[in-house]
Copies of this chain bind each other. A is one copy, B any other.
Amino acid sequence: MMMDFKLVMKLPRYYRYLKEQLELGSKYASSGTLGKLMGISPSQIRQDFNRLLFNGYHGVGYDIVGLLQKIEEILDLKTPKNLIIIGAGNLGQTLCNNQYLAFCGFTIKALFDVNPRLVGLVIKGLKVYDVGELESYIIRENITAAILSVPSDANVMMIRELYSFGVKTFLNFNTITCDLPEDIAIENVHIDDHLMMLSYKNKILKYTE
């Protein structure tokens, strides 16, 4: 069964709210209470969970743990995936601390950089290698995913190189304007878009008060 992408895109948000409810001590979440928390209608929640083929209990609600597991399964969060971070600058170092990487099944194996001053360092227990060692390292350590935290002018070249070494899954922070191969899994974090929306929200706030 192929899951509708638009539904899948909603799952991380559901996951966050459900996790919170669990941590607050709830065992079940009803579409009513969850809907109020998330600002969506109970109907929509029931429709969505139905499409996940996940059943609740009449008069009670949905089992939170089961639902979290269901989402973990769909998103494949519990399958281990070896990942490297390209670029050991500030952003790369920030990501070394990210707790969600491990939570989503990504194990950071190493950092890579072109800067000889950074190569050889150990950051948060992770070695920084020269990008020249990428190919052998990727094959040796079975790397399947990479985070790009390099300057934008080096970004696409780096993706192409990694792709040629067999890495096809990328978390990307730069705007990409050219075409990439079809068989790539790329997730883009568009900080620029967020800043534009921040500007808009700031404006609306200013004009409504």
Q: Interface residues, chain A, CB within 8 Å of chain B?
A: 8-9, 11-13, 15-16, 20, 74-77, 79, 81, 89-91, 93-94, 97-98, 100-101, 103-106, 144-145, 168-171, 175, 177, 183-187, 189-205, 208-209
Contacts and interface: CB of A to CB of B under 8 A. Distances in A.
Contacts of A186: 201
Contact of A12 (B15, B97, B170, B190): B190
Contacts of A193: 12-13, 16
Contacts of A183: 205, 208-209
Oligomeric state, in number of copies? 2
A8 B200 contact: yes
B194 A187 contact: yes
Contact of A199 (B20, B81, B196, B202): B81
Nearest to A71: B196
Contacts of A194: 171, 187, 189
